[in-house]
Structure 1
Amino acid sequence: MDAAPSAAPQQPRYTEGYKTTVLWLLVLAYTFNFIDRTIISTIGQAIKVDLQLTDTQLGLLGGLAFALLYTTLGIPIARVAERRSRVNIISLAIVIWSGFTALCGMANSFLTLVLFRLGVGVGEAGLSPPAHSLISDYFEPRKRASALSIYSFGIPLGTMFGAVAGGWIAQNVSWRAAFVIVGLPGILVALAIKLFIKEPPRGYSDIAPADTPILEGEETVPATPAAPAKPPSILAVAKRIFGKWGFFHMVAGITVASFASYGTGQYQAPYFIRMFGLDLATVGLIFGVIGGVAAGAGTLLGGFLTDWAGKRSGRWYALVPAMGLLIACPLYILVYLQDDWRIAAALLLLPGIFHYTYLGPTFGVIQNAVSLRMRATATALLFFVLNLIALGFGPPFCGWCIDMLSQNLFAGQNLGDFFALCPGGVGAAGAGPVVDAACKLAVAEGTRQGIILNLLIYAWAGVHYLLAAITLPKDMATALASAAED
């Protein structure tokens, strides 16, 4: 008698509760990622005065010093993530960036702070590419924009907690203590992710049959035959996400919008301090609570709204971000035209809701455009372009604009050289109260004008999303067909 054929190895099937828990653990990691990345924008004014920095130097600390290794290491880390354990990569990355964030509190010069910020960038490069890949394996294509918008919710959460905690600690202890206190808890997050999250099979949510047994997680899972053993080349991935009109303009839109966001975000808190004389703790509450709630609502709205509207037409994955950015631009400018900080703070609730609608849709489109072993690399390539341009040069550009505008405003008072007389934005020792007052006035108004100038860039980003909508449904259909063939 012939032996019965052996049964094919079964794929694990994870419960919705387990997948949701995995997603929120990754949100927690991304929250600490943004706490450690952006806390410098809240406490930057204290650092500037203490270390006597220019706004351009402050922008470099928040931008290029962090982005340089963050962007360049993202691609090789992603290539490893296409083959190796994404959970291990994420856990190790969190430990590295958390440690370097704490070390920032030990810096005693601009150079040492730059070096420690480079270290933060090294660690943070290891989160989003493997995280996007994991999420795409846990959630099917029609839910990915929503799932990735929930993951992106870590951006406003991190900004919010970083602003509130960082502002309070810097005000009541020191800016150095703020770095240490917000940095070290990330190590516990790394441990939780390592112990709880399991590696799903590559392409699990694309092919897993509905009648497979439900398990909470597996230490070892069978490899899916749908995923090729060797990941496609970086060039093949780049052609997939940059080679179509719709995808190119989606990438251009998120890059230009983030350029404005990182640039103006670096100086929003210093603006309220310089213009209205608020303390660090109050400013932290304003941008943590008000800004964080608005940005969080917009991030979630963008993902869920586009997944819902996208069932009717794929153009909505571009139209929702386009409309959000074009509405947010004038609303943000209105905030910085106010002479009362209470009105300005209240108005911050409006633009953030519209502004952040672009995150989930853009990430969802890129993940759906590529095949199984392209996903981490696709995110790394997207983040390479996005963060090298936006994060690397957005804050320094905005800071340079503020320095130049402040210098021009100070020059109109015929008191002397701005940079010599106003180190750190305040009057030099022995310069006298007239010079000190002139320095502070020039820097405050220069900050207002510089931020407004950079806010206009949001409209430019909105135009890119409108252009993407022209061919996006066709491009998405072509990419999905190509992904099925890979």
Structure 2
Amino acid sequence: MRSDTITSSPDGIVVPTLPPARNVAAGAVPTRFPLGIMLMMMLIYTLNFFDRQILTILVEPIKADLLLSDGQIGAITGLAFAILYTAAGMPLAWLADRTNRVRLIAVALAVWSVFTIACGFTRSFGQLLLTRVGVGVGEAGCTPAAHSLITEYVPRERRALALAMYQMGVPLGSLTGLAVGGLLVSSLGWRWAFFLAGAPGLVLAAIVPLVMHEPRGNRAAIVPDPVPLGPGLKTLWRRKSFVWICIGSGFSAFAFYGLSAFSGSLYLRTHATELAAMAADASMAPTALLGIVLGLIVGVMGGLGTFLGGFLSDRVARGNIVNYVLFCAVALTLAAPLFAGAALAGGLVLSFAFFGGALFCQTLSYGPVYAAIQTVAEPRMRGMAVALQLLVVNLVGLALGPLFVGMTSDHLTATLGPIHGLRSAIALVAVPMLLSGLMFTHATRLVRREDATFGGD
């Protein structure tokens, strides 16, 4: 059994929570859950997804104002963001394995916040495309460094819970992005929604270096020099289970981002009459009500799934890390029909129920998949490992999911009309979600074949 710990003793000093900010002593293994630090990390990732997901509820007014097609919306919501997110991911992960990760996260936070604000000044498809590319570049610097930090902040037996807590930023950021975005666009317009979305990140970017610490310190003698990029990639890709986990994650993201990018449009077009009646009863604009409802569904169901996935998978994987992968396989397979149901349900409330169930099952996989990846990687390759997985997730999922739904919707609209064309396009994402579950099932067999308990830290 390989051990990727960085200490000589299984017992060490406690990692401090916020405050104070100081280095973990050389040779120490964390023995306590650093709640303060994890709350800060979760807040950072919440803003990450807040700035990313606010665009979802702004799609229809932006489309009308800038005269865009569904295909162009798919390019802006997915492809534009993913282009440099994926291109910058590996170099920034390489940097995270060699430099101060806290400062890197702070700079990344400032960059994506500035570009989010810049989205509000755009006047054309090309300008909005470029600003979303800038948001992607900034956000690419966050997660590899964050995952690497978390792995050193927390004990091995609580790693999935910690990574799931960080991933809580996805539902929480989506909740606030949809709810706040819906309220802002109905009262101030979509441009002011972008202006106000980017501002909190600039404030938090100044706070992060003051309250978080870099555990590495000057431990050059304890942590070996990071593996060069080329040999590191070869090492990771030689483990076939890791490859299939990455590809399966990409297909899951394809379905998630495909549905997510057009969820606002789905309800505003398909269930317009029911939504208008519900909004009238609540004395609200339909867009504002939809933003709040979708935000609550994503926040509550996605948050519950993320937390339970990390909590439960830590327990089922105590004996063997293969159960992390099996846990993902079951959750993603269950999610597939629910994604189709959200698009095809005849009633608004039933569609909301399918939507919530789909997100719950899909987010169950967040903690265990990242726990498996971070455990297989050596300490000096952890940033590289998560960046490689995110590269696949974003190339397959974020870049292609919304683009596929948008272009398929444009194609099907010619024969089925704008309502059924979009519904059918979204329903098709159930296929890659099912394939994702099958890929994780295959990865489970590969893990067993490779005798992969992945070592002990």
TM-score by length of 1: 0.83
Residues 344-399 of structure 1: CA distance to partner in whole angstroms, max 9, x if unpaired?
A: 22343322221111211111111111111111111111111211221111111111
1:180 aligns with 2:225: no
1:336 aligns with 2:343: yes
1:40 aligns with 2:15: no
Residues 6-25 of structure 1: CA distance to partner in whole angstroms, max 9, x if unpaired?
A: xx9xx864236762111111
Q: Secondary structure at the match of 1:144?
A: helix
Q: Secondary structure at the match of 1:480?
A: coil
1:248 aligns with 2:243: yes
Q: Distance in 1 between matches of 2:235 and 2:246?
A: 12
Contact 1:302 1:361 in 2 (8 A): yes
Q: Secondary structure at the match of 1:240?
A: helix
1:108 aligns with 2:83: no
Q: Distance in 1 between matches of 2:451 and 2:253?
A: 23
1:138 aligns with 2:153: yes
What amino acid is aligned across from residue 40 of structure 1 in structure 2?
A: L
Identity of aligned residues (%): 35
Q: 1:458 aligns with which of 411, 433, 444?
A: 433
Q: Secondary structure at the match of 1:339?
A: coil
Tell me the equivalent position of 1:3: none
Q: 1:320 aligns with which of 327, 330, 347?
A: 327
What amino acid is aligned across from residue 351 of structure 1 in structure 2?
A: A
Shift of 1:463: 0.2
Tell me the equivalent position of 1:422: none
Shift of 1:180: 0.7
Q: Distance in 1 between matches of 2:359 and 2:79?
A: 25
1:426-465 to structure 2, matched below 5 A, reads 442-465=417-440
Tell me the equivalent position of 1:73: 88
Q: 1:282 aligns with which of 266, 289, 299?
A: 289
1:398-437 to structure 2, matched below 5 A, reads 398-409=405-416
Contact 1:237 1:370 in 2 (8 A): no
1:260 aligns with 2:255: yes
Q: Secondary structure at the match of 2:345?
A: coil
Across the two proteins, how many residue pairs are aligned to each other?
Answer: 422
Q: 1:470 aligns with which of 442, 445, 453?
A: 445
1:361 aligns with 2:368: yes
Q: 1:227 aligns with which of 220, 223, 236?
A: 223
Q: Secondary structure at the match of 1:350?
A: helix
Contact 1:254 1:359 in 2 (8 A): no
Contact 1:93 1:124 in 2 (8 A): yes
Contact 1:81 1:130 in 2 (8 A): yes
What amino acid is aligned across from residue 319 of structure 2 in structure 1?
A: R
Contact 1:247 1:475 in 2 (8 A): no
Tell me the equivalent position of 2:233: 238
Contact 1:64 1:396 in 2 (8 A): yes
Structure 1 stretch displaced more, 18-27 or 32-41 = 18-27
Q: Distance in 2 between matches of 1:326 and 1:88?
A: 39
Shift of 1:478: 6.8
Q: 2:205 aligns with which of 168, 190, 194?
A: 190
Q: 1:128 aligns with which of 134, 139, 143?
A: 143
**CA shift in 2, pair 1:449/1:299, >3 Å:** same
**CA shift in 2, pair 1:304/1:52, >3 Å:** same
Q: Distance in 2 between matches of 1:173 and 1:51?
A: 17
Q: Distance in 2 between matches of 1:339 and 1:324?
A: 25
Tell me the equivalent position of 1:51: 66
Q: Distance in 2 between matches of 1:178 and 1:39?
A: 8
1:151 aligns with 2:146: no
Residues 260-293 of structure 1: CA distance to partner in whole angstroms, max 9, x if unpaired?
A: 1111111111010011224221221121001221
Q: Distance in 2 between matches of 1:123 and 1:447?
A: 31
Contact 2:50 2:176 in 1 (8 A): yes
Q: Distance in 2 between matches of 1:276 and 1:269?
A: 11
Shift of 1:315: 2.5
Contact 1:36 1:162 in 2 (8 A): yes
Q: Secondary structure at the match of 1:348?
A: helix
Tell me the equivalent position of 1:397: 404
1:165 aligns with 2:149: no
Q: Distance in 2 between matches of 1:475 and 1:188?
A: 47
Residues 119-156 of structure 1: CA distance to partner in whole angstroms, max 9, x if unpaired?
A: 11111111001111110111122221111111011011
Shift of 1:246: 1.9
Q: Distance in 2 between matches of 1:479 and 1:328?
A: 28
Structure 1 stretch displaced more, 337-346 or 185-194 = 337-346
Ranges in structure 1 where 5+ consecutive residues have no aligned partner = 1-7, 202-220, 410-441
Shift of 1:41: 1.4
Residues 201-254 of structure 1: CA distance to partner in whole angstroms, max 9, x if unpaired?
A: 2xxxxxxxxxxxxxxxxxxx44163311x2112233323332223222211111
Asked which structure has the greater CA Rg, the reply is 1
Q: Distance in 1 between matches of 2:49 and 2:398?
A: 12
Tell me the equivalent position of 1:15: 16
Contact 2:344 2:424 in 1 (8 A): no
**CA shift in 2, pair 1:195/1:475, >3 Å:** farther
Structure 1 stretch displaced more, 355-364 or 85-94 = 355-364
Q: Distance in 1 between matches of 2:450 and 2:49?
A: 32
1:88 aligns with 2:110: no
What amino acid is aligned across from residue 140 of structure 1 in structure 2?
A: P
**CA shift in 2, pair 1:477/1:333, >3 Å:** closer
Tell me the equivalent position of 2:3: none
Residues 151-194 of structure 1: CA distance to partner in whole angstroms, max 9, x if unpaired?
A: 01101111110000011111121011111111111112112211
Q: Distance in 1 between matches of 2:228 and 2:220?
A: 20
Q: Distance in 1 between matches of 2:415 and 2:230?
A: 46
Residues 313-352 of structure 1: CA distance to partner in whole angstroms, max 9, x if unpaired?
A: 3332112111111111112322333222123223433222
1:480 aligns with 2:442: no
TM-score by length of 2: 0.88
Contact 1:317 1:365 in 2 (8 A): yes
Q: Distance in 1 between matches of 2:104 and 2:288?
A: 35
Aligned-residue Cα RMSD (Å) equals 2.0
